């Protein structure tokens, strides 16, 4: 009966092959060959070879999120990160300018028992999954497609049930492995395929699409990993049955790109993750994340790391995440920093333990047309962090948009925008923030904007520019605080409640 059903599904899908290919391939090509928002793309320079760490087996652990020195709330031990040698002192003079960039040290067990909207799992999430039967034989088409034709593959062909309850792990993996270059694996709209194991797309050039849902039933092995070049993932939804805590290993990143050169992720929804919603690592290059929605994660919404480079993130929507909304993070141990990343029109609303937009180590990163609201820490955070061993920051630009109600957490003092150097040997340089409106403040935060370095021995912050920034509704003693020499930064047309700022030492009132 299943074979008959699969045949009917294939016949119906084949009738719309031309429309499908046009819908998936043509817009992707347009995105990949043009800059977002018709703006000039960053100048491309020769890409460094990515380190081999991202090619490790999925059992390896990875830095799951960006964190300021001392941030341990909800995190588990991460063997790929260097040990944290205590929190940085975070600021010398003026005293009021010292940011508390770390969240309170709270054991992982104090995290909420489940992700928002999820029910606790009755099973032990760390126990190995139950043994599954051998995958069914894959039926052979009686009339195979002609050479060069697009082949449509349904998980029903490989034995999937698609009822959201039956474990379809083996059938889904078989369908992915059956697809070759140019083939399309269809998850039909309205169908939900449950999986208890990590799923891996390892065949280059295939497309995964169709409007259906992949539902992870076991948080410890909940990832969909793309580890082949030229793969497109379009129009599907990724969910997780429940999460009990924040995880950090590769197997828990809900959608992971691992060295997936030329990957395109388009109109995908990630609702729930034990770690990051979308994790871009392994030196992934030439990637496009187009109109991706991420919500209800334990860690970052979108996390770009491990030397990934030359990527575009177009109109991401991030809601209610456990750490940063969109983060570019470069650890010195990765060998090369993330580089040449363009993030256009990001919308971030709600974080329970992080910042809105962050670059914690990275070069040539642009954020344009931002909308950041209701964040735990800073709305925009550009930093080199000593405690986590991150690289420096160079040529980062944040232009146009709004920051509203940032830094709600009373335990840290970021303000709405924080440019920060907590390292003794890395430089934060050539940072530009321009064309922003900033409003909504916790009464006890010491400032709206900050340029802060931990110690006089640090290389510090150089060539920072703040221009065309309108701060409204603020009445605190200082709108901008810096403990850097006036020769290291420029402030132009930064207004508070319509009036220009007046400098007194390290305070701009």
pLDDT tens for residues 457-488?
A: 889 999 999 999 999 999 888 999 999 888 89
Higher pLDDT, 335 or 131: 335
Percent of the chain with pLDDT over 90: 67
Please check the confidence at residue 5 and state whether its pLDDT lies above 70.
no
Q: How many Å from the N-terminal Cα to the C-terminal Cα in the chain?
A: 75
pLDDT 10s digits, 48-63: 333 333 333 333 334 4
CATH of the domain at 212: 2.160.20.10
Lowest pLDDT segment from 10-24, 39-53, 235-249, 404-418: 39-53
Q: Residue 30 falls within a domain, yes or no?
A: no
Q: Residue 43 falls within a domain, yes or no?
A: no
Q: Residue 21 falls within a domain, yes or no?
A: no
Q: Residue 20 falls within a domain, yes or no?
A: no
| pTM: predicted TM-score of the whole model, two decimal places | 0.78
Band (173; pLDDT cuts 50, 70, 90): very high
pLDDT reported for residue 131: 57
Band (367; pLDDT cuts 50, 70, 90): very high
- Selection from 52, 48, 38, 28 nearest residue 340 by Cα: 48
Q: Residue 208 falls within a domain, yes or no?
A: yes
What is the CB neighbour count within 10 angstroms for residue 496? 24
Domain boundaries, position 183: 71-76+84-110+152-508
What's the mean pLDDT in 36-52? 34
- Average pLDDT of every residue of the chain: 80
Q: CA-to-CA distance for 461 and 423, rounded, in angstroms?
A: 11
Higher pLDDT, 133 or 238: 238
Q: What share of the chain is helix, strand, coil (3-state, %, to 5)?
A: 15, 35, 50
Q: Residue 481 falls within a domain, yes or no?
A: yes
Q: CA-to-CA distance for 260 and 307, rounded, in angstroms?
A: 12
Q: Residue 189 falls within a domain, yes or no?
A: yes
Question: How many domains, the chain?
Answer: 1
- Selection from 308, 195, 201 nearest residue 261 by Cα: 308
Q: Residue 376 falls within a domain, yes or no?
A: yes
Write the burial class of residue 387 (CB in 10 Å: 0-12 exposed, 13-18 middle, 19+ buried). buried
Compute the C-alpha angle 211/166/117, nearest 5°: 65
pLDDT reported for residue 487: 80
Q: Is 248 left (phi over 0), alpha (psi -120 to 50) or beta?
A: alpha
Question: Would you state the torsion angle of the CA atoms of residues 192, 194, 198, 202, taken in this order, to the nearest 10 degrees?
Answer: -40
Residue 105 structure tokens:
């040290």
């Amino acid at each position: 009966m299943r074979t008959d059903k699969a045949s009917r599904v294939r016949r119906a899908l084949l009738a719309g092959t031309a429309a499908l290919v046009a819908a998936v391939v043509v817009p992707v090509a347009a995105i990949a060959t043009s800059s977002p928002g018709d703006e000039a793309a960053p100048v491309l320079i020769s890409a460094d070879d990515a380190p081999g760490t991202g090619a490790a087996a999925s059992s390896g652990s990875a830095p799951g999120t960006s964190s300021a020195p001392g941030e341990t709330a909800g995190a588990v031990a991460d063997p790929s990160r260097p040990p944290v040698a205590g929190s940085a002192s975070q600021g010398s003079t003026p005293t009021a300018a010292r940011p508390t960039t770390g969240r309170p040290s709270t054991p992982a067990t104090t995290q909420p028992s489940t992700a928002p909207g999820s029910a606790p799992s009755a099973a032990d999430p760390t126990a190995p999954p139950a043994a599954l039967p051998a995958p069914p034989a894959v039926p052979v088409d009686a009339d195979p497609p002609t050479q060069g034709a697009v082949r449509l593959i349904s998980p029903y062909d490989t034995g999937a049930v698609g009822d959201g309850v039956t474990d379809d792990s083996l059938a889904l993996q078989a369908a992915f492995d059956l697809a070759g270059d140019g083939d399309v694996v269809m998850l039909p709209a309205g169908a939900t395929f449950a999986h208890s194991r990590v799923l891996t797309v390892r065949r280059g050039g295939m497309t995964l699409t169709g409007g259906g849902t992949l539902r992870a039933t076991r948080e410890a092995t909940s990832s969909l990993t793309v580890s082949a070049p030229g793969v497109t993932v379009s129009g599907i939804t990724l969910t997780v049955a429940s999460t009990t805590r924040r995880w950090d290993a590769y197997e828990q990143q809900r959608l992971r790109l691992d060295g997936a050169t030329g990957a395109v992720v388009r109109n995908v929804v990630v609702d729930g993750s034990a770690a990051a919603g979308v994790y871009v690592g392994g030196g992934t290059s030439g990637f496009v994340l187009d109109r991706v929605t991420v919500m209800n994660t334990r860690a970052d919404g979108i996390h770009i790391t491990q030397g990934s480079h030359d990527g575009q993130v177009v109109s991401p929507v991030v809601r209610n995440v456990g750490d940063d909304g969109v983060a570019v993070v470069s650890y010195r141990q990765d060998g090369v920093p993330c580089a040449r990343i363009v993030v256009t029109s990001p919308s971030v609303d709600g974080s329970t333990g992080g910042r809105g937009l962050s670059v914690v180590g990275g070069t040539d990163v642009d954020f344009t047309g931002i909308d950041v609201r209701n964040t735990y820490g800073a709305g925009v955070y550009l930093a080199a962090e000593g405690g986590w061993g991150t690289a420096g920051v160079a040529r980062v630009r944040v232009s146009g948009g709004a920051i509203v109600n940032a830094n709600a957490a009373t335990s840290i003092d970021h303000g709405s925008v924080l440019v920060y150097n907590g390292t003794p040997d890395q430089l934060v340089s050539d940072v530009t923030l321009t064309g922003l409106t900033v409003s909504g403040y916790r009464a006890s935060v010491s400032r709206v904007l900050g340029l802060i370095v931990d110690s006089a021995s640090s290389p510090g912050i150089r060539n920072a520019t703040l221009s065309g920034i309108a701060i409204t509704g603020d009445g605190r003693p200082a709108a901008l605080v810096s403990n850097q020499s006036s020769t290291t930064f420029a402030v132009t047309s930064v207004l508070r409640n319509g009036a220009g700022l007046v400098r007194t030492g390290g305070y701009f009132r």
